[in-house]
Structure 1
């Protein structure tokens, strides 16, 4: 029986373009989704680069103007993997054309932009998601299940940090991620947004925050991204860094829990340390993206003398998503989180429900990012 297809148009083609393209290609292999992605067209301004991406990633064709993609009648979904300052214009145009939308995070540059994006998708009744892929790690899904079942009791603490070191070299160039007019914020929106989303997903909504931010290197050589998180620059031409290099946050949640959250791209020796620990009245949970298949769980009602964190390798068939892959202990990786996210997105389209995280989450997260920046500027607590 031939499956119904969902026809994808992707705007952008670099790091996240590669990750999303891989997910589209592998989703039908591993998951029995009602829809099968059809990779119709990829778009970018640099013809040589986008043509190379089209051929390597497996897209049927390419366009140099994203507007041409949205205007096409043979496209059902617009996937936005471009720098943050372009999200709002593209998403609103896609919604007005009746296309379903998935976009990278953060949703927009400002709360006002994010709210206009949400209004557009709601008005035009299209499905929408924001790519907080870490929710879809099997170990994180298991953590959510244990919390929802009350296994660790009332939550008292959330401790999260997202540590990287890829821009610690002063010669790393002034790429778009370091320009406020393009990215909105630095470590806060780039990586901190992911850990903040995990906090919301696992613990609940934030009530108030107080934060401090710092930019350690004020000027950098001009340059551009090449692949992944690599870049090249020209030391003879310098420009001002206009975003944060690091942020530290204290928080209170609506349910009374306390939070400590840190994001920095200046943590030597840490490549992608997205980590959390959650302490409750009956136990605790720990997880680290650099060891993503393992979840550490502590139960306070274990026998005295036998208490301690137990290590669960979240790869058995009973665990979320993992039964679609390999036998227990045959671990999966970062790229599979996007497959899980796309599986949820396409099921929402096929079965006519609104998947999450979506633009509503994006608006809430945008307000949270804005409150954190406001707190750091004013040196005071800010209510959400």
Structure 2
């Protein structure tokens, strides 16, 4: 793939076969992201529409359902299968440790599932979610919107074709000042039991997963350092647990073929996201890499020349839901499937162990 072909591909759906039909989605969990990012993306999709919304807040569920012509359910009604004919698939957007319960309910009703990242709070629970969907014969996709972004997909093809030679190093950052908005320290993201951790689980997973996608490889071992000040430092009830609501985390990851990964994530500091991939014959840097519907700037320096482009691609959240629906309509397994999400949970679990022990921890293959 030459540089012009890369730029052209960054605005193209390489997966779309124009199938007939649409997939009606039930959104389980009506937090800010689900209401203001995901639901509009579902409504704007070519292959999706909103069938139902599920919340523990009846007033919120009714308001959102009325706005979008959907069915409103509480969690008990959802689990019991009320109005199950109103939707074909479920989007799980609850706090991480609740994902398994909602996935099992969906699978039990024979519904396909797209679940927010991380797939669950622990490796064991993420594996149980994968098993539940496998046993029910339904699709499980981890909601890695970057893997549906035409820009990132084009870069993946470029790297696989040797566009930067042999990859040698990957680096990335995601800083999200989680207390800068309307939510205070009581939010679930700072509850390590619900979240499974802190900044690494919530935003560090973006550079980790996107690098895995671009390299087509998984880390075999990690080292890490994590720090937290109040109110981030509350540990789970088990004082022996290595997991806590990390405010800052730095992970070194050993990929195959000698590739080194270095990722940082923070819950405080000036907001920013970027990703860089270095190879023997070139370098790729993506600015504003992980902001929803953000205008990414891509800079490439290769033996074939240099190029910079921005303002291409699409709303990757809409692309994510359309890609999921396309997989359901065509019977195609999604690339970011449940096991993809399970792998990241295992890597992050190893990173928390490494941060707690100060050692190098092997990542168990899932």
TM-score, normalization by structure 2: 0.84
Q: Deviation string for 1:212-260 (max 9, x for gaps)?
A: 101122479xxxxxxxxxxxxxxxxxxxx94111100111102210111
2:44 is aligned to 26
Alignment partner of 2:158: what SS?
A: helix
Alignment partner of 2:121: what SS?
A: coil
| Structure 1 residue 139, shift from structure 2 partner | 2.2
2:60 is aligned to 49
Counterpart among 24, 27, 39 of residue 10 in structure 1? 27
Q: Deviation string for 1:135-161 (max 9, x for gaps)?
A: 233322221121011110100010111
Structure 2 residue ranges without an equivalent (≥5): 1-18, 234-242
Counterpart among 221, 226, 233 of residue 208 in structure 1? 221
1:295 is aligned to 298
- Say what the alpha-carbon RMSD is for the aligned residues: 2.3
Distance in 1 (alpha carbons) for counterparts of 2:111 and 2:135: 12
| Structure 1 residue 200, shift from structure 2 partner | 0.7
| Structure 1 residue 54, shift from structure 2 partner | 2.0
Following superposition of structure 1 onto structure 2, how do residues 317-328 of structure 1 map, counting pairs within 5 Å? Answer: 322=313
Larger C-alpha radius of gyration, 1 or 2?
1
1:142 is aligned to 154
- Identify if the C-alpha distance between structure 1 residues 59 and 106 changes in structure 2 by more than 3 Å, giving closer, same or farther: farther
Distance in 1 (alpha carbons) for counterparts of 2:32 and 2:256: 35
Give yes or no for contact 2:171–2:262 (8 Å, CA) kept in 1: yes
Distance in 1 (alpha carbons) for counterparts of 2:317 and 2:137: 24
Q: Deviation string for 1:258-295 (max 9, x for gaps)?
A: 11110001223x2xx22111110111100022663321
Distance in 1 (alpha carbons) for counterparts of 2:300 and 2:75: 49
Give yes or no for contact 1:139–1:314 (8 Å, CA) kept in 2: no
1:161 is aligned to 173
Give yes or no for contact 1:83–1:176 (8 Å, CA) kept in 2: yes
| Structure 1 residue 173, shift from structure 2 partner | 2.5
2:126 is aligned to 114
2:331 is aligned to 352
Paired positions, count? 328
Q: Deviation string for 1:81-115 (max 9, x for gaps)?
A: 11111100110121122110011111111111111
Following superposition of structure 1 onto structure 2, how do residues 1-384 of structure 1 map, counting pairs within 5 Å? Answer: 4-18=21-35, 19-28=37-46, 36-56=47-67, 58-68=68-78, 71=81, 72-74=83-85, 75-167=87-179, 172-203=184-215, 204-218=217-231, 242-268=244-270, 270=271, 273-289=272-288, 292-302=295-305, 309-313=306-310, 315=312, 322=313, 332=314, 336-384=315-363
- Identify if the C-alpha distance between structure 1 residues 93 and 16 changes in structure 2 by more than 3 Å, giving closer, same or farther: same
| Structure 1 residue 3, shift from structure 2 partner | 5.1
Alignment partner of 1:92: what SS?
A: helix
Give yes or no for contact 1:210–1:379 (8 Å, CA) kept in 2: yes
- Identify if the C-alpha distance between structure 1 residues 301 and 345 changes in structure 2 by more than 3 Å, giving closer, same or farther: closer
Alignment partner of 2:45: what SS?
A: helix
Choose between structure 1 and 2: higher strand proportion. Answer: 1
TM-score, normalization by structure 1: 0.80
Distance in 2 (alpha carbons) for counterparts of 1:70 and 1:8: 17
Give yes or no for contact 2:22–2:325 (8 Å, CA) kept in 1: no
Alignment partner of 2:308: what SS?
A: strand
Alignment partner of 2:251: what SS?
A: strand
- Identify if the C-alpha distance between structure 1 residues 69 and 339 changes in structure 2 by more than 3 Å, giving closer, same or farther: farther
Q: Deviation string for 1:360-380 (max 9, x for gaps)?
A: 111101100100000001100
- Identify if the C-alpha distance between structure 1 residues 168 and 21 changes in structure 2 by more than 3 Å, giving closer, same or farther: closer
